[in-house]
Amino acid sequence: MQIAEQKSNGGVGIVQTRVLRVNLPPEGLVLENGVVLPELHVAYETYGQLAEDGANAVYICHALTGDAHVAGYHDASDRKPGWWDAMVGPGKGIDTNRFFVVCANVLGGCMGTTGPASIDPRTGRPYGSTFPAITTGDMVQVQCLLLQDLGVKRLAAVIGGSFGGMQVLEWSVRYPQMVARCICIASAMSLSAQALAFDIVGRQAIMADPDWTGGDYYDKAERPKRGLAQARMIGHITYLSSENMKRKFGREKRAGQAPRRRFATSFQVESYLDYQGAKFVDRFDANSYLHITEAMDVFDLAEKHASPAVAFARVNPEMRILVVALSSDWLFPPEQSLEVARALQQAGKHVSYCLLRSPYGHDAFLVEVEHLGEVVKTFIEASAPAPDAAVPPVPRRRTSRANSAQDHRLIAGRVRDGARVLDLGCGGGELLQALAAQRGVFGLGMDIDLENVLETIRRGLDVFQCDLDAGLGMIPDGSYDYAVLSQTLQVVRFEWYDTPNIHLFTLRDFKMLCARDAIKIVDICCLPHSRIDALLIKMAGYNLGADRVIITITRDHDRKAQNET
């Protein structure tokens, strides 16, 4: 696509990064460790208009080395737009026709917000080695102060990927009343040991660079470019999947001459890493890299709490949270996103989870926005859950869920008001919506199909995208009053195991299974297909002429205990 075309093609156009001197209390900005910064500048950009009622603001948290320049161009001559231009703009995932979007460079950064390269007003010289240690909490505090100054009192949503996702989680517990929705992409409650290790080596590379000089290099001729480039190269390896590196470079070699220095190879991957390193040191400051990675490394939402679920106790019960994982991400692997979702679910909060298939590794949230944009848009624009009538009709996809209105009525008749209900294989969420409307249940759907998940999210309901067989283990025993398996059991057993046939089984088979596994049948309701079926059922007892059966089962504690002894 031509740049001119891109620029005219639905983007936010020309934008400016502005720098605000943020209003601070007289004592200055007090950091979590008690240290005070006397002055705070924040570089930020905004897109779209703040609504009269102030309810349409979205804050974007950037990742490790990002900046405030999310979308559009600073100048007509710019060759590249902002870092998430594919996500942010008119009609895009975060629709600037609808939302007032704000993004700011983080505290400690080097893109305009106060950081180690800034002048300390007390000395008139760059902070350098005297810049205090900062935390993710400090960064979010600064974001909140900026929004206050911009007149934003609450956020329709806060969204971020990678380290940005950690900031989102921090928002959810630090300012729970201020945020309606949180979107946490390819992130975690804390870094894994492996990710920590890579950061550690990266920092050591910077500190081993003789040009770092303890952090006070701003008045020197040289900056610690080699160390910073090395840290960046390590980072870049972790942002890509191995599969993606194989596709991009494989073992291809540069055409032409041999490498210009000894022990440099002619593999294209070396050129790529060199290029990434060189490009990075031109725009980034080594001390900022040290400070921000350190803040990321020590971020640990669960650390001070008995369990991850307790950490999320402060999340507003009205808040809706979406956790998105990327399948080939090995820096923030999907299991870590699932942990976030599970902890929120266990804390009784409204949370949904999506796993997007992508071969691109961690970077996918930046480079492959097509599906992610749809997921974000669906979640961020979804209505709050409401009675059936109020929800716009959604096209039906699961034809196998036939006779659903009757089923839903009958199932609703078997569920207590306000109960917690798990709908396994929830399809587009029709049943959960009916149960929410008729019984006021607190529901969670599970489905493996992304379209079904999106449809459920569109209804304002909570849903986890997962394979039932893999996913059920994560639901703690006793955390739901009812689990519904509506027209799903046959799919779980067979179709999910990749055999082509759907094997139906009889009520008698099911009763045998229950007997074997110490399951107590509470109630059986056979649904006739026709009047003749109804007559047959009446004449012959159940299981004759019925084409569907609703069975209520419960654990048979006595039998189970017996079996176990």
Q: Identify the active-site residue in 62, 69, 362, 408.
A: 362
Binding mask 276-305 for a copy of itself (x = CB under 8 A): --------------x---x--xx-x--x--
If the CB atoms of residues 246 and 538 are measured against a copy of itself, the closer one turns out to be 246
**C-beta of 45: minimal distance to a copy of itself in Å?**
30
Task: Give every CB contact of residue 541 below 8 A, 6+ residues apart in sequence.
Answer: none
Residue 246 backbone dihedrals phi, psi, to 5 degrees: -65, -45
If the CB atoms of residues 19 and 492 are measured against a copy of itself, the closer one turns out to be 492
If the CB atoms of residues 266 and 487 are measured against a copy of itself, the closer one turns out to be 266
**Contact between residue 169 and residue 189 where contact means Cβ atoms under 8 Å apart:** yes
Q: Report 437-496 residues binding a copy of itself (CB under 8 A).
A: 469, 493
**C-beta of 335: minimal distance to a copy of itself in Å?**
10
Q: Exposed, middle or buried by CB within 10 Å (0-12, 13-18, 19+), for 132?
A: middle
If the CB atoms of residues 235 and 545 are measured against a copy of itself, the closer one turns out to be 235
| Annotated catalytic residue 236 | no
Stretch touching a copy of itself by CB under 8 A, among 98-106, 186-194, 316-324, 549-557: 186-194
The token pair that represents 267 in the structure block: 């593999």
Measured at the CA of 407, the angle between CA 401 and CA 410, to 5 degrees, comes to: 165
If the CB atoms of residues 226 and 362 are measured against a copy of itself, the closer one turns out to be 226
Number of residues that bind a copy of itself (CB under 8 A): 56
Query: Among the residues of 262-384, which ranges form H helices?
Result: 268-283, 286-298, 308-311, 334-346, 364-367, 369-381
Cα separation values, 108 from 64, 144, 289, 401, Å: 11, 15, 9, 54
Beta bridge partners of 73: 14
Q: Report 414-433 residues binding a copy of itself (CB under 8 A).
A: none
If the CB atoms of residues 240 and 376 are measured against a copy of itself, the closer one turns out to be 240
If the CB atoms of residues 130 and 479 are measured against a copy of itself, the closer one turns out to be 130
If the CB atoms of residues 120 and 294 are measured against a copy of itself, the closer one turns out to be 294
Amino acid at 302: A
Cα separation values, 134 from 215, 266, 293, 294, 405, Å: 15, 41, 10, 8, 55
User: How, if at all, do strands 519-528 and 157-161 pair?
Assistant: unpaired
Q: Identify the active-site residue in 69, 95, 138, 162.
A: 162
499 near a copy of itself, judged by CB under 8 A: yes
Stretch touching a copy of itself by CB under 8 A, among 75-83, 185-193, 411-419, 548-556: 185-193
191 near a copy of itself, judged by CB under 8 A: yes
Measured at the CA of 96, the angle between CA 148 and CA 453, to 5 degrees, comes to: 100
**C-beta of 228: minimal distance to a copy of itself in Å?**
11
Q: How far apart are CA 108 and CA 188, in angstroms?
A: 21
Q: Report 228-257 residues binding a copy of itself (CB under 8 A).
A: 230, 233-234, 237, 240, 242, 245-246, 248-251
Stretch touching a copy of itself by CB under 8 A, among 7-15, 57-65, 264-272, 430-438: 264-272
Strand 482-484: give its sheet, edge to edge: 18-21, 41-47, 100-104, 57-61, 157-161, 181-185, 320-326, 350-356, 463-465, 442-447, 420-424, 482-484
Beta bridge partners of 550: 525
Classified as helix, coil or strand, 182 is: strand
**C-beta of 309: minimal distance to a copy of itself in Å?**
18
| Annotated catalytic residue 162 | yes
Binding mask 528-547 for a copy of itself (x = CB under 8 A): --------------------
Binding mask 307-336 for a copy of itself (x = CB under 8 A): -----------------------x--x---
Q: Identify the active-site residue in 67, 85, 209, 329.
A: 329
If the CB atoms of residues 420 and 493 are measured against a copy of itself, the closer one turns out to be 493
Q: Which of 5, 75, 219, 498 binds a copy of itself (CB under 8 A)?
A: 498
**Contact between residue 37 and residue 114 where contact means Cβ atoms under 8 Å apart:** yes
Q: How far apart are CA 472 and CA 447, in angstroms?
A: 11
**C-beta of 494: minimal distance to a copy of itself in Å?**
8
**C-beta of 209: minimal distance to a copy of itself in Å?**
7
Q: Which helix (H) or strand (E) holds 125?
A: strand 125-126
| Annotated catalytic residue 118 | no
If the CB atoms of residues 303 and 558 are measured against a copy of itself, the closer one turns out to be 303
Q: How far apart are CA 157 and CA 79, in angstroms?
A: 30
The token pair that represents 273 in the structure block: 């890493």
Q: Which helix (H) or strand (E) holds 443?
A: strand 442-447
Q: Which of 219, 260, 263, 541 binds a copy of itself (CB under 8 A)?
A: 263
Contacts of residues 556-565 at CB distance under 8 Å and 24 or more positions apart, as own/partner, are 556/518, 556/519, 556/520, 559/518, 559/520, 560/518, 562/518, 563/518
**C-beta of 174: minimal distance to a copy of itself in Å?**
21
Classified as helix, coil or strand, 459 is: coil
Q: Which helix (H) or strand (E) holds 208?
A: helix 193-208
Q: Report 128-167 residues binding a copy of itself (CB under 8 A).
A: 129
265 near a copy of itself, judged by CB under 8 A: yes
What is the 8-class DSSP label of residue 466?
-
Q: How far apart are CA 515 and CA 556, in angstroms?
A: 10
Q: Which of 201, 313, 532, 561 binds a copy of itself (CB under 8 A)?
A: 201
190 near a copy of itself, judged by CB under 8 A: yes
**C-beta of 10: minimal distance to a copy of itself in Å?**
35
200 near a copy of itself, judged by CB under 8 A: yes
Catalytic residues: 162, 329, 362
List contacts with a copy of itself (CB under 8 A). 129, 190-194, 196-198, 200-201, 203-205, 207-210, 214-215, 226-227, 230, 233-234, 237, 240, 242, 245-246, 248-251, 261-265, 267, 269-270, 273, 290, 294, 297-298, 300, 303, 330, 333, 469, 493, 497-499
